Structure 1
Amino acid sequence: MASPRIYQKNERRHIEVAQTGDDDLGPFKLLPGTWTNAEVAPGVQDGRGWNMIALPFGGARPPFRVLLNQYNESLMFTLVDKGVPNRGVRLDPDVNSTDQRIVTLDYQQSIHQVAAADFPESGEAGGAGLAIHHEPGLFLHMLSHETNGIDIGRLATIPHGDSALGLGTSAVVDGLAPIPETVTALAVGVGTDIENSPYLAPYKHFRDNVFTGTVDPVQVPGFPGFNPLDATRLLRLGNDQLNVTRTTVLDFDTTLEEAGIVNIPFIVREANAASMRSTFWIQEIAQDDGSTLLRMQYLQVVMLDFFIPRPDGMPGPIRWPHVSINTMVKVAEPDPEVGKYMTTNRA
C-alpha cells in the first residue's frame, strides 16, 4: 500500500465527492460508489445477505428466539473529508508535527429483508421488503500518530440507540484473503451440548432445518443454506473458481484501545450491545474480457449481553452473537449531484 500523503500545516481541510482510486483515501480508495447485491434479472436482486440474531422472548421456554434473515443491501460511499485536524502536543517524528490528520469517508447502509424465519415462532419475523437496518457512518483513515499499528476506524450510528467506534488495521494481500472457518453464532455461557440441552433447542432447530430463504434447493442443488453453526460457509463457497488478483482487508474491533459502544438506557438494561467486530474483504476479480470486477464480502459479529446468571456458572450475562454476512458488487460511482451542496466551495 502506498504511504499516505503528509498534509502540510497550512493546507486547507476540504470536503469533496469521493473518487475511486484516490490515493488520499489510502486503504479505502476502492470504496467510493454504490455497492449492492448483484441483480440476477431486472429488478430481482440476489439476496446474498444473511444474518442471525437471538432475541429475548418473554414467556417462552427457553426465554429467547433465534431469528434468521435473508436480505438485500445498499452501501453507499459518497463524500470524503480531507485534512481533518486533531490537535496534539506530542511530536510524531514521521511527519514532524504534533497534530494528527485524518481522512474520512462517509457511508449510508440500508438493508431490506427478503425472507425470514424464527424459532420458536413469534409471528413477528416479517415478510419481504421489510426495512431491517439503516446506518449512517464514517470510515476513518489515520495518517499519522498511529498506535499499535491501528490506522483505520469505523464510526457507526444505529437507529436502535447505539453508537459504535471500531478501530483496526488495513492490509492488501495478493490473491484471495482467507475467510475464517470457525465462526459460530452459538451463545457464550450456555454450554455446547446442542443435542440434549433444551436451552439450545432454537439453534438445533436451524441446524436440522437449514434456512434457505428464497433459494430453492431443488433448483440449486447442493445449496447448504445459512447455518448459524457455520456462519461463513456461504462466503467461502462464493469464492470458488474466482480469479481474485488482490484483496484489501479492513478489520474493525470495538474492543481495541479506546474504542467501544455507547447505548441508550433501555438497550443497556435489556439486551446490551457490548462489542462489535467487522471485517471487509474488497476483492479485485479478473474477468475473461480483461476487466476487473470489484466485489465486497463482509463478516460482522455484534455481541449482545442478556440474561443473568449464565448456566455455565461464569460471571456476567450470557453473550449472544449477532452474525451478519454479505457479498456485494460495486454498481456505480458516486453521483456528484448528491454531494454538491455539501462539498467545500473552493472557488
Structure 2
Amino acid sequence: MKKFDINDFQRLGGISSKLLHQDPAQELLEKAPAGKRTAAQETTLFFNDLEGDWFGNKGWNLIALPSRGSTPQSQGDFRLLVIPYAETLSVHNAGAPARNRGGSVDQFVAALEYQQRVFNKDSGEALHVENGMFMNLSAILDNDNQTQPLPEFNVGRSGTIPHGDSILLLSKPPFVDKGAPNIPDISSVPPDIGQNAPLGYLDPYLVPNPDINIRNPNATLRKDLELQAGEGFEILQTRTLALDSGNAGAINNIPFIVRHANATRMQAVFWLEKVRNTKTGQEFDQLQYTQIIDLVFHLKFGQDDPGNLITWPHVTINTLVKQ
C-alpha cells in the first residue's frame, strides 16, 4: 500500500478549494469515474466547488413561534412567520489538516470555514448570522501509515449562531449525478399535534402565497430550476450532501431556548450544481439547500405529559450563485 503523504492529503483531502490551472493531478481527479473515487476524493471535489463567495436572494424562512401569552407547557396558539430573505455565504480554506491523535490511530481533518449572513429581502433587517466549518473526516491512519476503515459518517458541519445554539451535523460522502438534482417533497406542517385541536388551528399553513409553497417549500426550489430551464440554463451535474444531527451529531442550546422553543434536530441538504447558459456557453456554480430544524413547544392536544410536545419544522431554503 502506498505510504501516506500528508502533503498529498492536503491537496486531495479537502483544504485545497480552487482548481489550479496547471495541476494535472486535480484535472485527472475531476475526470475519474465517480465509482472509482475514494470517499475523501468525493468530499474534496465537493469542497473544491463549495469554496468561494456566494449570494442568493431567493431565500425563504418559515418558522412557527409560540404566540404572546403562551407558556412552554400550554396548549396555546402560535404565529407562523414567512419571510423572504437574501443571503451571503463566504466559504474559505481553514488551513492545514488538524491532527486528532488517538494513540494507535490518528485522524487528519481537512476543513473549510464558512460565514453566513441573512437579511430580510423586503426591509434589509439582519435576520441570521452563523459561522462554522465543513470538515472532511475521511482520513484515519494507524501508526504504520495504513489506511483504517472509513467512518460511516465522514463529512461534518459545525456551526454557532447568536441565539445560543451550536450544531454538529454528520453525513456520508457526497454523491454526484448527471443533470439536475432530485429534490424531494418535504412538509413544513407539524406531523402530530395530538387530538381535538381547535378547528382551524393549522390554517396559517393554508394561506396562499404566490411566491412560496408554504406547505412544501422544496416545490419552490424545483420551480426555481424550472424557470431557469425556461430561460436557457442547463444543469450539467449535481453533487448532493445530506447532513443530519441525528447521525451521531448534536444540537446544544442555552437554557432559555431549551425552555421556550427547544431545537432538537437539524437536517441540511445541499445541491451543488454546475450550470451552463445554453445561449452563451458560460458555466457557473449554483448552490441550493433545504434546512429543517425541529422546534418543540406546546403540549400536544389531548396530552398532559410535559414531555409530549408538538414538533414544529423550521424550514429555510435558498438558491445561491458563486460570485
The TM-score normalised by the length of structure 2 is 0.77
Q: Number of residue pairs matched?
A: 277
Matched, 1:253 2:248: no
**Structure with more helix by fraction:** 2
Contact 1:107 1:136 in 2 (8 A): yes
Contact 1:26/1:141, CA 8 A, preserved across alignment? no
Partner amino acid, structure 1, of 2:83 = N
Q: Describe the SS at the equivalent of 2:221.
A: helix
Tell me the distance in 2 between the aligned counterparts of 1:17 and 1:83: 7
Residue pair 1:297, 1:327 contacting (<8 A) in 2 also: yes
What is the distance in 2 between the residues matched to 1:192 and 1:297? 37
Query: How far is 1:262 from its partner?
Result: 0.5
Distance in 1 of aligned mates of 2:302 and 2:76? 15
Query: Does 2:315 align with 1:329?
Result: no
Residue 273 (str. 1) matches residue 263 (str. 2): yes
Shift of 1:6: 4.8
Residue 21 in structure 1 maps to residue 11 in structure 2: no
User: Alpha-carbon deviations, 1:264-287, whole Å to 9, x = none?
Assistant: 011111110111000110100122
Aligned twin of 1:34:
53
Could you list the structure 1 runs, at least 4 aligned residues long, displaced by more than 6 angstroms after superposition: 9-13
Q: How does 1:275-294 map to 2 (within 5 A)?
A: 275-288=265-278, 289-294=280-285
1:189 maps to 192
Which of these residues, 76, 79, 102, is aligned with residue 93 of structure 2? Answer: 79
**Residue in structure 1 matched with residue 67 of structure 2 by the alignment:** 57
What does 1:89-238 correspond to in 2, within 5 Å?
A: 89-90=103-104, 98-115=105-122, 128-145=123-140, 149-169=152-172, 170-181=174-185, 183-190=186-193, 197-204=199-206, 206=207, 209-210=208-209, 224-238=210-224
8 Å contact from structure 2 (residues 189, 313) kept in 1: yes
**Identical-residue share of aligned pairs (%):** 33
Measured on the aligned residues, the alpha-carbon RMSD in Å equals 2.9
- Give yes or no for contact 1:7–1:83 (8 Å, CA) kept in 2: no
Could you tell me which runs of 5 or more consecutive residues in structure 2 were left unpaired when the two chains were aligned. Answer: 21-25, 27-40, 141-148
Equivalent pair of 2:15/2:112 in contact (CA under 8 Å): no
Query: Which amino acid is the alignment partner of residue 286 of structure 2?
Result: R
Distance 1:8 1:109 in 2: 30
Matched AA of 2:202: L
Unaligned runs of 5+ in 1: 38-46, 91-97, 116-127, 211-223, 332-347
SS at match of 2:139: coil
